[in-house]
Amino acid sequence: MPDPLEVRFVPLDRTPKGTVVVLVGHELAMAASGKSIDRAAGGQILKACKVGRFVGARKSALEVLSPNGVDADRVLLIGLGEAEPALDWVEIGGSVMGQLISRKAKPAAVIGETSEGPVAPADLADLALGAVLRSYSFRKFKTKPSADNDSAAAPGELTVYCRAPEEAAEAFQRRRALAEGVNLARDLVNEPANTLGPVEFAERAQRLADAGVEVEVLDMAQLEALKMQALLAVGQGSARPSRLVVMQWTGSSNRKAKPIAFVGKGVVFDTGGISMKPAKGMEDMKGDMAGAACVTGLMLALAKRKAAVNAVGIIGLVENMPSGTAMRPGDIIGSMSGQTIEVLNTDAEGRLVLADALWYVQERFKPKAIVDLATLTGAIMVALGKEHAGLFSNNDRLAGWLKEAGDATGERLWRMPMDTAYDKELDSKNADMKNIGGAYGGSITAAHFLKRFIQDTAWAHLDIAGVAMASNRTETNESWGSGFGVRLLDRLVTDHYEG
């Protein structure tokens, strides 16, 4: 893992060295500190703004190099724009870091003040979160720094000058835990399958024990004893054995309280199996474990911030390969639930993995609610593009909470329909169900397949195929693997399951 950005909060009275970021509102609205820097520089800063036609528009920036009369090497003005719509401090932190990286500015500092006065400690902590998220890059296999490897140029530390540094630092604690979770998820998604197979992934999950998570890794013999025949069928073509990992964080004051459960699809590589995928773009299928990565990152974040919740994370880790031992189209397999499945397409494998993981979590933990995440279908990208993940649920309240958490964090969800007409498409002549529906609505029939393994628990399924990998770059993410879902579900827990 690359060294994370170090953030320090210090009192406003010290003089910044290196690059100092000054936040500027609409029509050059500047805080007292910004004005005093300009005064010290003999008006050079505001003059540069005029020349550069910088007026503080949102996301705009202007730099003044080695201004006279101030200690800083560079003053970097960053526009906040108008007060409406409300400022998103995580985004601001991301764009500040983006500007610092593109200028290779280090050391770097931000003055936590606007024309409205000191920025609230929680907002500064959000800014720092955005900066940490933006400064992530996947460098594990780079033996030397390179131009496309931007955040090698990231400042190793960011100093935030502010009115109430202790409060900001305190507020930042839980955000740093969250950022660690997001960045762990990104690391796992970005890592290729040759070095991150089911066994290696399980080993990574085991490291969460250091943070106080209880981790169990179920091996082949245990999975067979549990009759997880659907999950095992997916892995049976691979030379590498399958695993199921159970992560438990017990943070509630009532240690016996029923947990909220998170279940992730962890197909470390999806060739499609015998129903093989075309070669073009197949390398992206190293990210077919993004659901599992999110669950692992989330469990780390919850533990690191000592969330007052009982949470369980379950990830099914398999590799979907074609071989002499692989499952075939037409095969009829069992499942832990006892239901039989006719596999008409071996590329519809994620749902087979989840079927057993979902059944297991209900049998063992009787959770209050279950949220599963999976890069489940290409069809969800056809429906929603890369802006929203698909949300499917049997429970309006849970769905509403998730939608709100998505809007609050920017990890947005769009609810998709579920009803028996879609479910019928899965009926099979030869077994209890088929693993695919008809030609259309593929993400919906996939969700209905999962629903057949849900008893009467509140459940939501997030199809994250469009948002978790090869996703749109944002102010807070430059990485191929976005870490989608960690912030969303941390928010869900904070708002509805803690205490």
* Residues with catalytic roles: 277, 351
**Residue 246 CB contacts under 8 Å (≥ 6 apart), including other chains:** 215, 216, 217, 218, 312, 313, 314
**Residue 235 CB contacts under 8 Å (≥ 6 apart), including other chains:** 198, 241, 242, 318, 319, 320
Distance from C-alpha of 100 to C-alpha of 61, rounded to nearest angstrom: 10
Site string for Mn ion, 343-362 (x = CB under 5 A): ----x-x-------------
> Can you tell me the distance from the alpha carbon of 74 to that of 281, in angstroms, rounded to the nearest whole number?
43
Stretch near ligand BES under the rule CB under 6 A, chosen from 8-16, 58-66, 165-173, 340-348: 340-348
Closest approach, Cβ 410 to Zn ion, in A, equals 26
Q: Is the Cβ of residue 370 or residue 446 nearer to Mn ion in the bound state? A: 446
Q: Tell me whether residue 118 or residue 350 sits nearer to Mn ion (CB atom).
A: 350
> CB under 5 to 8 A by kind: which of Zn ion, Mn ion, ligand BES, none does 345 bind?
ligand BES
**Closest separation in Å from C-beta 48 to Zn ion:** 52
Which residue's C-beta sits nearest to Zn ion? 270
* Interaction between residue 316 and ligand BES (CB under 6 A): no
- Amino acid identity of residue 50, one-letter, is K
**Residues 196 and 494 sit within 8 Å (Cβ to Cβ):** no
Q: Which is nearer to ligand BES, 264 or 442 (CB)?
A: 442
**Shortest distance in whole angstroms from residue 45 CB to Mn ion:** 55
The answer to the question of residue 350 lying near ligand BES (CB under 6 A) is yes
Please report whether residue 465 would count as binding ligand BES according to CB under 6 A. yes
Q: Per-residue string for binding with ligand BES, 87-116, x by CB under 6 A? A: ------------------------------
Contact set with Zn ion (CB under 5 A): 267, 270, 288, 350
Using the rule CB under 6 A, which residue among 347, 372, 425, 475 binds ligand BES?
A: 347
Count the residues of the shown chain that bind ligand BES, applying the rule CB under 6 A.
14
In single-letter form, the type of residue at position 144 comes to K
Could you tell me which of 244, 294, 259 has the C-alpha nearest to residue 457? 259
Q: Which partner from the list Mn ion, ligand BES, Zn ion, none does 377 bind, CB cut-off 5 to 8 Å by kind?
A: ligand BES
- Least separation in angstroms between CB 328 and Mn ion: 15
Residue 320's DSSP bridge partners are: 270
Q: Which range binds Mn ion by CB under 5 A, 31-39, 43-51, 114-122, 266-274?
A: 266-274
CB-based burial, 126-164: b 16+ in 10 Å, e otherwise? bbbbbbbbbbbbbbeeeeeeeeeebbbbbbeebbbbbbb
Looking at the Cβ atoms of 343 and 489, the one nearer to Mn ion is 343
Which residue's CB is nearer to Mn ion, number 347 or number 490? 347
> What values do phi and psi take at 287, rounded to 5?
-95, 10
The residue among 477, 467, 372, 465 whose CA lies nearest residue 411 is 467
Distance CA 112, CA 95 (A): 15
First to last CA, the chain: 32
Pair 476, 94: CB distance under 8 Å = yes
Residue with tokens 């004893």: 225
Handedness of CA 269, 267, 299, 397 (dihedral sign): positive
The answer to the question of residue 425 lying near Mn ion (CB under 5 A) is no
CA distance 476 to 297: 17
> In the complex, what is the shortest distance from the CB of residue 267 to Zn ion, in angstroms, rounded to a whole number?
5
- Are 283 and 232 in contact by the 8 Å Cβ rule? The answer is no
Q: Give the residue, chosen from 137, 377, 457, 482, that forms a contact with ligand BES under the rule CB under 6 A.
A: 377
CA distance 134 to 153: 12
Q: Point out which span in 213-221, 311-319, 345-353, 489-497 binds ligand BES (CB under 6 A).
A: 345-353
- Which of 243-251, 270-278, 397-405, 481-489 is the region at the interface with Mn ion (rule: CB under 5 A)? 270-278
Phi–psi pair at 202, nearest 5 degrees:
-60, -35
Q: How far is the CB of 273 from ligand BES (least distance, A)?
A: 9
From the list 271, 269, 268, 249, the residue with the least C-alpha distance to 260 is 249
Min separation Cβ 200 and ligand BES, Å: 19
Q: Look at residue 330 and give the partner it binds from ligand BES, Zn ion, Mn ion, none, a contact being a CB closer than 5 to 8 Å depending on partner kind.
A: none
The encoded tokens of residue 146 equal 């390179």
Smallest separation (angstroms) from Mn ion to the CB of 25: 49
Q: How far apart are CA 94 and CA 457, in angstroms?
A: 38
Q: Quick check: 288 binds ligand BES (CB under 6 A)?
A: yes
Distance (Å, whole) CA 141 – CA 280 = 23
Instruction: Pick out residues in 188-247 that bind ligand BES (CB under 6 A).
Output: none
Residue 319 binds Mn ion, judged by CB under 5 A: no
Interface positions with Mn ion (CB under 5 A): 270, 347, 349
Interface positions with ligand BES (CB under 6 A): 270, 288, 345, 347-350, 375, 377-379, 436, 442, 465
